[in-house]
Structure formats: structure tokens, C-alpha cells
Amino acid sequence: MDIIFGRNRKEQLEPVRAKVTGKIPAWLQGTLLRNGPGMHTVGESRYNHWFDGLALLHSFTIRDGEVYYRSKYLRSDTYNANIEANRIVVSEFGTMAYPDPCKNIFSKAFSYLSHTIPDFTDNCLINIMKCGEDFYATSETNYIRKINPQTLETLEKVDYRKYVAVNLATSHPHYDEAGNVLNMGTSIVEKGKTKYVIFKIPATVPEGKKQGKSPWKHTEVFCSIPSRSLLSPSYYHSFGVTENYVIFLEQPFRLDILKMATAYIRRMSWASCLAFHREEKTYIHIIDQRTRHPVQTKFYTDAMVVFHHVNAYEEDGCIVFDVIAYEDNSLYQLFYLANLNQDFKENSRLTSVPTLRRFAVPLHVDKNAGVGSNLIKVASTTATALKEEDGQVYCQPEFLYQGLELPRVNYAHNGKQYRYVFAAGVQWSPIPTKIIKYDILTKSSLKWREDDCWPAEPLFVPAPGAKDEDDGVILSAIVSTDPQKLPFLLILDAKSFTELARASVDVDMHMDLHGLFITDMDWDTKKQAASEEQQDRASDCHGAPLT
């Protein structure tokens, strides 16, 4: 598996035309923009974990049945510092970088102190976020990097902390119909408190506010949830939303702040400060978006680890939410590069298979309901919520499907009732071997797979004027361990899951993590906004807009 995970990838700075077989739908016009780790060694130094690798952006631009590919490393401060030193000098979550051994004792002491509350990396390798008319490479630290989605050029660095007090933030924000961004982050021991902060970034500067300023300056804290532990906040990778509520899982997969503060001097990585406490509960927090306050009832379920929420919606006085859950934290452990070698099959066996689980949470608890009674009356799920003597509610899920990860849905149904999950198929190995369409209503599935092919997260793109939830295509970047098979962009009919086309490229393509599709309409809007901004500036300078 070193051919996929351990080897550094070459950039493809200039667009290269793909060889297309099959027929791309005429309506499919735009760019698939993806992000993931691409460089795992710098000089003689090597990262420990696959999620530590330097971010490599790549894109497939689809125009009139033709496809063009390009890739470029994110020129983060981390990338530039490492390349200049010809070794890893900036710490990542699974790899701690150390000062030059030639430094004197005072320099070393300063380095240790500076890592007590670490200034995290800006190696933004996980996802792409759209904010207003701009696009950002993101990770789970307080830094994101603005990028040019056409040229993949790296632009300015944004520090969340300038706008909201968070040290960590998810790479899976949600967007409302106006394009406003809703995200979550963790504020570590800020003014003596550790809390989970939900915040909102407007797509545009609100009316009545001074125009010309960045929407970032109008970021607002939506709600804060105190951590159950001051020094051991929960790790989370995503969260769920419905039309009126936010769902946050405070799981017993926790980050030990005291260990993190001393990790540098102990010569340990920050990842070593994460621990799963299987004897503890997973707490389900429900936040009302209208009042911006948590629902008072305490909901919980058994210990589990969730990286990806799938979707959530409201039905008959309940919130129904779907997640991909594990029984433990083995997924993260298996992506250490030492395990992704020739002994991959022996080293990389999950101790729990990712399972699509459906939970149901009652929004109003009947005070007259008996202890032990099931508060869920929704006919569409067998999930239960049992009232306990102390007023808490114990939620037990319905198990829908085993072997899914990297789930996506038709985003028009995000936060609403939906039917289909598009995901990568995995079993005892964490590496996807197929693409799956799961029908929640019929409990049936369709699959695509091909020998020696390893698909990335499948992304759904709706057809113009689509009426059915699955009317559109699935896009996935595919790499292969067969040296005779070029990497390619796969295009599936989302209804039938039959292959419509593939675009093969003779490039050194990497396996990525997440991304998004930018339609030509998005480009037109961005161009129009840029033109209007240019006119506004001209008006400010000369008293009248340019003509």
C-alpha cells in the first residue's frame, strides 16, 4: 500500500487533458476540487501518520465533455518552513517536530514553553470550505487558507481566533440556503472554561453594516456548550443539523489537555493525548437554532466514536439523525504509516466495522411517561429513547448498514427527510474498495467496484431541474495499485449506479479526503461579485463607477 499512502506525489501545475471514455452528461459543467495529504517525507524526515502529510490540492475541470486535471501543494507557512529547512520543522497531530539540536539551552527552553499551548499547523489538508464567494482549504486547527479554486494558488491565512475564541474547529461546516456557514470549534481553557462553540459566518456583510469589510468580521457565536471536563474535551470531526436544531455528540474520545501541554517536552505527539474511554457515555446535545440554547433534557447513548454525521431531520416531534459509528478508536490508529506497508492486510484490520446508525431523540418528554418507556413513536425507525428515573433519556440506535464511510447526501436534502446515502465501502480494512448507494427506505444498496481500484469519497451533483433525490451523477477520484491502470475521475449515474464515463489522467495522483463541486454558476457569481467589488472601489476612489 506504500504506492498509495507513503510516497510523495508530484504536482501537476499546468492543466493536463484527460482521456475520456463513455459520455459525460452535457449539463455537467464545473470543477471538482479536492484536498488530501500528498507529501509524507521532507528531506530525511518522515511523518508518522497519513493525516499529517502536506496538503495537496487537485481539481478536475469539466467543460463540454472534456476534463482537465491539475494539482498543487498548498503553500502554507508549514509547507514553506519545511521545504526551506529540508526537514519537518512544524509539528502535526501525529508527528512532533523538535528544535535544531545545535540550539543552546535557552532556545530549547523557549521552544518547550511555546508548545505548552501549541500554535497549531496551517497545513490545511482535510477539506474545502466555501465562504461567501471565496474558497478555503481547511483542517481541524484554528487556521484555514484561502485558495484560488481555478489555479490552486494559496492566498492569505485566516485565523479563526481573530473572530471567535476556538483552538480547534471542524472541517465539516454546514451551509444554509443563503450560503451562511455554520461551524463548531473547541475553546480550550478560555477564561477558565473549556467549551464547544457553535459559530456562524455570514456569506455577505449584513445589511446596515459597513460595506467593503470582510464577512469574517461579522462572525457571531451562535451557542456555547460547556465541556463536561475542563481538561479533557471531546474530539469530534463533524456535527449534524436539521431545519431548527443542531446535533452535537460529546463522545468519550477525549483530548487530555495536560498531556498535550507537556507532549513536546515528553517527546510525544499530540495524537498520543487522545484516548477512548469505553466505560463512559456519549452525550447527545440538541441545540435549538431559534432560541440558540440547548434543549434541557439530557440524552445519552453508549460509548462510540463518530467521525462523520450523515444527515438529520425532524419528524413527528422527534429529531432523527444518522451517523457512521465505531465501537472504538481503531480507525485513527490504523492510518499510521508504519501500518500502511507491505504487511497492510495484517497490520490494518479494524477492530470494529463502521456502521450506519440511526438515532431518534424526542423533543418533548412526557412527564407522565413511565420509567423505562420508549418515548419514540416514529414509525420510520426502530430506534428507541428510554426514559430513566433521574429524567435522563437513554437512546439506542437502529443499525442500518455495515461497512460505510465518507458519506455524502444530496445537499438539497441536508437537514431534511432524505432517502439515499452515497458512501465509500469499507469492511475490516479502513481503505475503501467500492462505492455504495444505500437506500434507507428499502434497506437495499447498489455498488460500484473494480479490481485494484481505490475510490475516494463519492460526491453527488444534482442534474439541473432535478425532481428526484437521486437525479444526478456521482463523482469520485480513483487511484489504482495496478501500474498499468491510470488514475481516473469516475462518473456514475446516481440512479442506476452504472458508469457513464471516466476521465483517465497520466499523472501522479494521490488519494484524497474531502472536497466539493463548483458549478459554472458559482464561477459566474464569483466573477460578478469581483466585478461589482472592483466598481465599488473605483467609485470610492473617483466618485463614479468605471464604465
Question: Which residues make Cβ contacts (< 8 Å) with residue 80, sequence separation at least 6?
Answer: none
Report residue 96 as a C-alpha cell: 512532533
Distance CA(144)–CA(123), nearest Å, equals 8
Can you tell me the distance from the alpha carbon of 231 to that of 104, in angstroms, rounded to the nearest whole number? 32
Ordered DSSP codes for 303-336? --EEEEEEEEEEETTEEEEEEEEESSSHHHHHTB
Residue 146, burial from CB neighbour count under 10 angstroms (0-12, 13-18, 19+): middle
Q: Rounded to the nearest 10 degrees, how much is the dihedral formed by the CA atoms of 449, 454, 458, 463?
A: -60
Binding-site annotation, residues for Fe cation: 172, 237, 308, 514
Q: What is the pLDDT of residue 347?
A: 62
Residue 517: predicted pLDDT: 98
Helix (H) or strand (E) segment spanning residue 81: helix 77-85
Residue 270, classed as helix, strand or coil, is helix
Residue type, 203: A
What is the distance between the alpha carbons of residues 57 and 32, in angstroms, rounded to a whole number?
11
User: pLDDT tens, position by position, for the chain (547 residues)?
Assistant: 556 787 899 999 999 999 999 999 999 999 999 999 999 999 999 999 999 999 999 999 999 999 999 999 999 999 999 999 999 999 999 999 975 555 444 444 444 444 445 678 999 999 999 999 999 999 999 999 999 999 999 999 999 999 999 999 999 999 999 999 999 999 998 888 999 999 999 999 887 676 667 889 999 999 999 999 999 999 999 999 999 999 999 999 999 999 988 888 888 888 899 999 999 999 999 999 999 999 999 999 999 999 999 999 999 999 999 999 999 998 888 888 888 765 666 666 667 889 999 999 999 998 889 999 999 999 889 999 999 999 999 999 999 999 999 999 999 999 999 999 999 998 767 788 999 999 999 999 999 999 999 999 999 999 999 999 999 999 999 999 898 999 999 999 999 999 999 999 999 999 999 999 999 766 555 544 444 443 343 333 333 332 2
Q: Taking Cα atoms as reference points, which of 384, 382, 388, 422 lies closest to residue 405?
A: 422
Predicted confidence at residue 380, as pLDDT, reads: 86
Q: For position 544, what pLDDT does the model report?
A: 31
How far apart are the C-alpha atoms of 358 and 384, rounded to whole Å?
10
**Cα 72 off chain centre by:** 20
C-alpha cell at position 505: 489522467
Cα(152)–Cα(167) distance, integer angstroms: 26
Q: Are 167 and 212 in contact (CB under 8 A)?
A: no
Paired with 247 in beta bridges are 240, 286
* Residue 11 DSSP symbol: P
Q: What is the C-alpha separation between 98 and 69, in angstroms, rounded?
A: 37
Q: How far is Cα of residue 26 from the mean position of the Cα atoms in its chain?
A: 30
Q: What confidence score (pLDDT) does residue 348 get?
A: 62
Nearest to 71 by CA among 158, 142, 137: 137
Which of 129-145 are b and which e, b meaning 16 or more Cβ less than 10 Å from the residue's Cβ?
bbbbbbbbbbbbbbbbb
For residue 57, how far is the Cα from the chain centroid? 15
How does 460-490 read in b/e, with b if 16+ C-beta sit within 10 Å? bbbbeeeeebbebbbbbbbbbeeeeebbbbb
Distance CA 350, CA 347 (A): 9
If DSSP codes are grouped into helix, strand and coil, which group holds residue 538?
helix
The predicted pLDDT at position 346 comes to 67
Domain residue ranges of the chain, discontinuous segments joined by +:
12-528
Cβ neighbours of residue 178 under 8 Å, at least 6 residues apart? Answer: 203
pLDDT, residue 540, reads 37
Burial annotation 46-59 (CB, 10 A radius, 16+ → b, else e): ebbbbbbbbbbbbb
Sign of the CA dihedral with 153 first, then 157, 163, and 168 last: positive
- Residues comprising the binding site? 172, 237, 308, 514
Helices and strands in the chain, H and E counts: 7, 39
Distance CA 261, CA 194 (A): 15
Determine the 3-state secondary structure of 84 from DSSP: helix
